Structure formats: C-alpha cells, structure tokens
Structure 1
Amino acid sequence: MKSSTLFKVLFYTAVATVLGACAEQEAEKKGLSLELSACTREPQAPPPVVNGAECGQLSVPLDYQQDDGETISLAIKRWPAISAAAEPDPVFIIAGGPGQSAIDVSDRLLPVFFNLRKKRDIVFVDQRGTGGSSPLHCELKQNLSLAQLSADSEAETLNELQACAQQHSQRAPFMLTAEAVTDLDEVRKALGYRQINVWGGSYGTRVALRYMAKYPHNLRAAVLDGLAPATMSVPYVIGAGANHALATVSDECLARHDCGSRYGNIERQAKEVGQRLLADPVTLSIPNPLTAEPETILLDAKKFAALVRMALYDRIMSRLLPFTIHAAAAGDYQPVAALVSQFLVDESQLNIAMGMHLSIMCNEDAGVTPLPEREDFLGVDLAATMLQACEFWPAAEVSDDYYTPVISDAPVLLLSGRADPVTPPKWGTQVAESLTNATHLVATGAHHGVTLQTCAGSVVTEFIRDLAVGERSVKCMDAIVPMPSFLHGVSND
C-alpha cells in the first residue's frame, strides 16, 4: 500500500472514531434531563463534611417494556466534588437490604468517602421501591420493633404482609434488580456522565454486578463490600451464615486465654440457651429506647436467635456476645435485655422497605437452583416466616441469564469480613472466579461492612484512584484483626 493511501486510511479511520465519540457524547447530552438543586435537609454526619449536597427526582418507566405506561420517580442526592479540577467519573453508592435507602445512609457514609469526594462526585440513588423512590412499605407491628418482642402472634404478621401484598400487587413485580440496574444507567445519562465507578454493599453488590454485566462500557471500576451474588439465596443460607459467624467468634474467644477461661465455649452455650427458650420462654422488663418507659417482653428462642445474629453483624457488638451468652446460660438475661434496647434503636434507623425486600427475596432468591438445604440457627428456622410470605407475594419474571456468573475484565475490589454472618468470604471467592481483574481482600477481624472499619475507607479511595491495590491497602486490611471480647469486671485496656 502506498504511503499516501495508508495516510488516507488512517486519517479517515481517526476521523470516524472521533466523530463516533462526538456522536456518543451528543447522545449522552440529549439524555441530560435531570436538574438538581440544593437539598433542603442539612447533613447530620460528623466532620469532615463540606456542605453543598444537591437533590432531585428522575422520572422513569415502572415497566421498561411499556415506555408510555406508568412512571415512578427516583430520588437522587449528589455531593459534588470539592476540587475545581474534578475527575469526570463519579462514584455511585448502592445500598443493601434489600430495601435500604441509599440517601438515608448518605450522611453516615460520606465521611468514609470524604477523600474520594475531593476529586469525584459522590452520587446516592434510592433504588426503586425504597426511600424516596416509590417505596413499597408494609405496615407491620412486628417488623423488628418493640412489638415484635412481645407475645403478638406470627399469624398477625403474615396477615399484615398479605395486606401489603395486595396493596402493592401492581408495582411489586417491577421492583427487581434488573429494573434497578436500568434505572442506574438512566441516572448516569441524565447527569451527563460517560462512565461511573460503583460502590455496593451487601445486596448492593448484586446490583453492581448486574450493572457490570449489562453496561460494561459505562463502568470504570467497582468496589463490592460483602458479596451477595444472584446465586446466593438469602432465605436458604441465612442459617448457615449465622452459624459460621458464631463459630468464628466462639473460636476467637477460646483462642484468647482471658476470654476462653472466663466464658468457655459460647457457641455450645448459645445452643443450650436456645433449646431452653424453645421449651420455656422468659419474661423480661426493658426500658423503651424512645420513651424510657418500662416494657415487658417475652424472650423466646426465635427472638434470642435473632438478637445474637444481629449482634454478629457488628464488630463492636460482637465483643459483648461471650459475656451476654455466658450470662444467659447461667440464667441471667439482663445482658440480653440490654441488647434488645440497643437493637431497637438501631433498627428504627434502617427504614427497610419490606415490600421491596420481599419482591427480591421471593422472586430472585427463591429462584436459585438448586436451592441449598436450610440450616437452623440456635434451633430456629430464621427464614420460615419470610418463605411463608413468599407463597402469596406477587410473582415476577426473572430472566434465566440473571443467575449466570458475571464475566468482566473491569478493575474490581472485593471486600469480605471473616466473621460476616450473611455475606461470608466464600461468596467473594465465588464471584472472583469469573472476574479477570479482581482482587479479593478478607479482613480477619471484620464482620458485615468492611468499608466502615478503621482505615478501610482509604483502601476504597486508593483503589478508585489508582485502579490497583497497593501495599498500604494490604497492610490496612491485615490490621483489621479480631477485637478482644468484653470481660465483665475487667478492663480491656
């Protein structure tokens, strides 16, 4: 080929590439239909926080197969980058649950992502069916509230859930992960971003993975904390996860002479307490965490198992478990009562949209094949009520490829806590098998939610910035070791 001809070929190829990129940019600009304005509520987060949050709503189809049908609004909150020389790719935060509002937890998460915000926008989107995005709430007296810990019947809860299913029967089938993934990309286009980074926690990792599969060219990088892939059927593995975490905490206690000699095998003792409460529940008096008025609760095996499992989510609360379980084994349930009060306050802040939660559990998680055999936790089937509700919850179609492993060469950082009771490290290991550019870090002392632990926020910042895991990040994760258990009457200093 003559040099002049070669030059023309290269020239026109380059022109075509540039024009194609410009056309793509123009198409993106045409989708810029979202105007954000200053949020009305000031942040409640501790320093370092720089004000300037922007909020808005984006209208999207309820059913993407019917563009001219009913629409819903997605609530969006953006913390603009502080630097005038900001990077063009923001970080989208995807909450867990399923059913949790990303915006509700934005003030709490922002300090963790403060260094990221110096150069990048941080965007929180309430997933459809949650928070400010057409939420599917259920009116439940027993939804992890003080009433749940009374003698109210389980049948009443199922009746309330059935009423909720009827209330949301038309919308519930469209509140699934597939629609949420499309929503995310609509927000990306509406805000004018070419590519985004995503951080997903727990169920949010599933949304992030499906986004990675559907829109590979729109994703720059992902950080996935506590893996919950589509192949993980939460109702069927919830017991196994809790058993794993309790065994881990028990082994850690036995490995420390001060804890092991004082409390012994707390896993065995917890099972003994559960069996005792199955046969003979006890009545406790606790102060209502909101009114301080005394309340009477009936502590049975179900409630005890739920309390222990909730404590296992948290690295700090797990320090109390050896003392609490050992006391209960000796017949002293006051430490358990103290846990009740603590978790009632914590649960009131989660604001889980139970209707959306059940839409995911009953249609996506229940569709995993083959389904694993369910394990009891402390003698209790933790998912029994949920699976009963699934019998009448509105059905939805889930595509066959939803359960296939996500294959990607995008830079991905996977984070797991060794003592996580719901998303243990094995799920991260499984997901990593089909991600050719992934790094999986396991913190031996972390439970659920590694990013919030000590220096882990800097690990996320470094990865999004450099698209690699450096030595400093590895040292940080290695430093997140099990905390010493609380020793009653002994200083832990």
Structure 2
Amino acid sequence: MRTLRHGAATAAALAITATAFAAPLPAHAAGAATVSWHACDGTGLDPRQECATLSVPMDYRRPDGRRIELAISRIPSERPEKRRGVLLLIPGGPGNSGLDRPSELGGRLPAAVREAYDLVGFDPRGVGHSTPISCDLPHDDLAPANQRPWPAPDGDISGNVTTERRIARTCARNGGELIRNISTVNEARDIDRIRQALGESRVSAWGVSYGTYAGAVYTTLFPQHTDRVVLDSNDDPDPVRVERAWLANYAVGVEDRFPDFATWASKAGNPYRLAATPGAVRSLFVGLAARLDREPIPWPGATPPRLSGNVLRETLLEGLYDDEGFPGLATLIRAARDSKPLPAPSSPPEEVLQNTTAVAVGTLCDDVAWPNSIPDIARDVAADRVRHPLTAGMPANVMPCAFWPYRPADPPTRVTSRGPSNVLLVQNLRDPATPYSGALNMRRAFGDRARMVTVDSGGHEAYLANGNACGDRLVTAFLAGGRRPAHDTLCPAE
C-alpha cells in the first residue's frame, strides 16, 4: 500500500503569484516559534538535527477535543545570513516516517539548498514518534505479498475478499478514534500547524511519492502559505478515485519499468545475466511465476515460508524501485529457476509493519469511498490479468476499504490551477510505482501553477536519487534560486 477541496484564490495568493521568487523571507515572519527543541533519539543522525513535539487536534472538526502529538525535527540553515526559510520534507507512504529525513537527505542536498533553508522533517499523524497507531493484525496479514491483493493463481479473489474484510474489521476495531482521523486532508492541516509553530508565513516543500499528493493537497488548501514546492514522483490526484488510481497504476508502472531490468539482465558480461535477450528475460519471469503458482518452493525465514508466484511478483515490484534492486531480484530468479538455495529474506520489524499498515489503511479508506461490488471487482481483475500479466490482476483487486465501516469525513480535494505559480514537478519516465501517465494528470490539474521536469530515467524517486544530473540541476536551481523552467522540460538520458 502506498498513497482536496476547491480553494478560491485570495488576494494574498494572487500577490504571492507575482512575488514567489522575490526577496528571502524573514526568519520568523509569523512570530516566535512555539516548539521546544531538544536532542533527537537515535543513532547515525547528523549531530545538528534537533527534535520537538507539537500538539494538534485529533479531529479538526472538534478543535477543543482530544489532541495528539506530532514529532518534528530540523537541521538549521548552514548560513543563517543566506537563510530563506523552511524546506519541509514530506515523506511517502502513506505511513512512512519522515523524522530523520533532514539527516538522511541533508548530506545529499547541494550546499546552496542547505544554506537557504532549515531542513524540517516530521512523522505524520499516527506514524513512529508521533502519536502512533496499530491494527494489531495477525502476523501473516503483514506478509509483503498480503499487503497488496494478489489474486489466486487461477484469478479467484475469494481469498482476497476474506483477508481484506478481516483487515478492515481488525483495523477499525483496534485503531480506535485516531484511525478515523488519518487522512491526507488532515495531514495538510497538520503541515500548516507545523508552519505556524515554526513561526513562518510560508514554507517551501519537497514531497516524494505519496508526499506529492500530500504536498498538492497542502498547496491547494493553503496556497497563500506556500513558497517553493517540489513534487517528486507524482501520484495521480484524480479526485474521484484517488488511491484507487494509484493501485491501478502499478500495472502500468511495472510494464513501463520492466524493460530496464530485462535489458540489464540480458547484457553480456553481467554476472547476474539471466538470458540472452530482454524478451527472453520476460518469458523467463512469466514462466517461472506460473510454475511457482502451481508449485511453490520453501523459503525459510520468509513470511509465509515459501516462494509462490505472487511472492515472486511482489519481489519484482519492489526490485524495480531502483537499479540497486536488480542484482537481488536476479539472484532470486536464478536460484528459483535452478532449484538452488534461495537468498535470505529481509523484512522490517513487525512493530514497524503494524504501524505502517495501520496508517496506510486509515489514509486509503478515509480519503475516498471505494467500490464494494465483489462481482464487479472480480470482472476487473480478470480483464487486468490479461492486459498486464506481470502484475496478474493485483492492481484491480479488492482492498480493505471495500469493507471500511466509516465514510470519509472530508471530500477528496480537487487540485486546480488556482493559486501561486510556484510548483515544480519532477518525474522519471519509467517509474514502477507512480508512472509517468499518472504524473501527467497531476501536471494537468495544476495548470499554470506548475512546470514539469521529465527525466528519461527509470526507478521511483528522481531528485538526487534515480533521475539524472540535468533534472537535479533544474530542481536545485529552483529551490536555491527560484529559477524555474519557463516551459516543461525533458532531460534526456545521460
């Protein structure tokens, strides 16, 4: 699982349109900060990173009711005299921690960006060091191949229906009141509370993956409080489908990205070579998955402890996120093909999986209502299996939200072109999780508020990750100096 109301353009927003790239902002334009900073817990952190907690309403419709805590962090600007303001690092997921992102990303960011901003991270509501949430799911429901709804080998989804219904009921029961208040709109409201607590009239932001949608919702609901906004690896903001579109997009993204892996895995001289041609690599994978559908093989230490066709497909999806995943994926394919010992599996701690899963379920189900006609879903799965054999119908399948007992408290936000023209989208052409076709919908939604830098590269996440030097230069120029391309730009492969 991964993962907007119309906002009229106010006079302030229109003013920002003309001044978005003007003089630096005062250090604390909206008054004194209202958080108390202290040393962060954890190891391997930049010693300059400091942490704090911020109290916010659990339910913004009842601002005087129960409150929860948000964990926030920062690394101050390296050159206070050059400080422009705050760069908020919005994590992906939904359900990913972002508290340590200033340390994790700070060393990769160019000096000009580190000098211009305080780097600010946070754990979204329900996550990690913020007031946490758990569904207390059975251990097997946390298995990677159960986190996404892979159909049975013959396409039957009855097992998925049973699993997803159980997850929905368990999360609704054990997640309490907080899980009913985990949504992207509430994350945007939380971001604005962070802005206020930091004493800033405006914030810049760098959102990645699901963070692009959270960032887009924030720029839509609070346009007058945005400075420079970078959205990297963009989710489709379709206000009718929202996360349903993201799930469906895996089928497109995996097909877009697989040729990169197949070309690499067929290259002469590659010690991980699987076949002589890219087409032969694809045939090998499809045939091996089908064989494992019929006859799973033991995989000691994995959950469940066997390699099935769907576990192989799930491993493929994860392995396509960046080129560094290719050797591990090829090693598993070769071992399974040759009946050799499988490599040791790896998985995050169960506590982390419980937390991430709960936040993901809450966000997906509270953002938008999902269809619940099982016959219709089964029909869509059957069609998707034919069109996209690499993902075998999973992206069209049933999710816990089909059985969620609550209705979304807020309507999905519609991203529009109203507001300051201060958004830069950066997108790889071959992204397995947030494909280019979905990113184009984000670009269309923003209209003249945005420009788009498209990078002829593969993998999930572009800026300073799986993109290229051309794309990195353009994003850095925007963040550090406000120089945004006059037109949408394609960065060719390097």
- TM (norm. structure 1) is 0.75
Corresponding position of 1:192 = 199
Alignment check: 8 A CA contact 2:232 2:426 kept: yes
Q: In the alignment, residue 359 of structure 2 is paired with which amino acid? A: M
Asked if the contact 1:236/1:373 (under 8 Å) is kept, the reply is no
Indicate the residue corresponding to 2:99 in structure 1.
103
* Cross-structure match for 1:355: 358
What amino acid maps onto 1:40 in structure 2? C
Task: Quote the Cα distance in structure 2 between the aligned partners of 1:352 and 1:417.
Answer: 29
Instruction: Give the drift of 1:89.
Output: 2.0
3-state SS of paired residue (1:131) = coil
Change (3 A) 1:181 1:395: same
CA contact 2:56–2:70 (8 Å) conserved in 1: yes
Contact 1:102–1:124 (Cα < 8 Å) also in 2:
yes
- Residue 142 of structure 1 aligns to which amino acid in structure 2? D
Report the alpha carbon displacement of residue 158 of structure 1 after superposing the two structures with TM: 6.2
| 3-state SS of 1:440 partner | strand
Task: Give the stretch that moved more between structures: 184-193 or 361-370.
Answer: 361-370
CA distance in 2, matches of 1:96, 1:296: 26
Deviations 1:277-332 (CA, angstroms, capped at 9, x unpaired): 1111111346x8xxxxxx9921111211111111011221135545654664x444
| Cα distance in 1 between the residues matched to 2:142 and 2:340 | 19
Q: Which of residues 458, 472, 475 in structure 2 aligns to 1:460?
A: 475
Higher mean C-alpha displacement, 128-137 vs 252-261? 252-261
**Deviation at residue 437 of structure 1 after TM alignment:** 4.4
Q: Which residue of 1 aligns with 2:173?
A: 166
For 2:405 and 2:127, locate their aligned partners in 1 and report how far apart those are by CA, in whole Å: 17
Alignment correspondent of 1:134: 131
Q: Aligned with 1:306: secondary structure? A: helix
Root mean square deviation, CA, Å: 3.9
For residues 135 and 103 of structure 1, the distance between their equivalents in structure 2, rounded to whole angstroms, comes to: 13
Give the conservation status (yes or no) of the 8 Å contact 1:145–1:347. no
Residue 299 (structure 1) aligns with: 307
Residue number in structure 1 paired with 2:439: 428
Q: 1:350 to 1:192 in 2, by over 3 A?
A: farther
3-state secondary structure, aligned to 1:199? strand
Deviation of 1:52 after TM superposition, in Å, equals 2.1
Q: Any conservation in 1 of the 2:235–2:442 contact (CA below 8 Å)?
A: no
- Equivalent pairs: percent with the same residue? 22
Matches within 5 A, 1:264-279: 264-279=279-294
Deviation at 1:236, TM superposition (A): 2.9
CA distance in 2, matches of 1:440, 1:346: 37
Which protein has the larger Cα radius of gyration, Structure 1 or Structure 2? Answer: 1
SS in 2 for 1:418: strand
- Aligned residue in 2 for 1:208: 215
Match for residue 8 of structure 1? Answer: none
Deviation at 1:111, TM superposition (A): 1.5
1:206–1:27 distance in 2 versus 1, CA, 3 Å: same
- Aligned mates of 1:187, 1:54 — CA distance in 2: 15
The match for 1:38 is 38
Q: 1:92 to 1:105 in 2, by over 3 A?
A: closer
- List gaps (5 residues or longer) in structure 1: 1-24, 289-294, 482-493
Judging changes above 3 Å, is the alpha-carbon distance between structure 1 residues 106 and 230 closer, same or farther for their aligned structure 2 residues?
same
How far apart in 1 are the matches of 2:209 and 2:145?
27
Normalising by structure 2, we get a TM-score of 0.75
Greater displacement, 428-437 / 399-408: 399-408
- The Cα shift of 1:194 comes to 1.3
Taking a change above 3 Å as real, the CA distance of residues 210 and 40 of structure 1, as seen in their structure-2 partners, is closer
Distance 2:216 2:99 in 1: 21
Deviations 1:224-263 (A, max 9, x none): 1110133242233333322332245336666989866366
How many pairs does the alignment contain?
Answer: 432
Distance 1:373 1:440, change over 3 A: farther
Higher RCO, 1 vs 2 (CA within 8 Å, ≥6 residues apart): 2
SS in 1 for 2:229: strand
Aligned to 1:9: none
Q: 1:398 to 1:436 in 2, by over 3 A?
A: farther
Q: Is the CA contact (8 Å cut-off) linking 2:261 and 2:326 kept in structure 1?
A: yes
Q: CA-to-partner distance for each residue in 1:392-434, whole Å, 9 max, x for gaps? A: 4342425445145454442222122233111011222221223
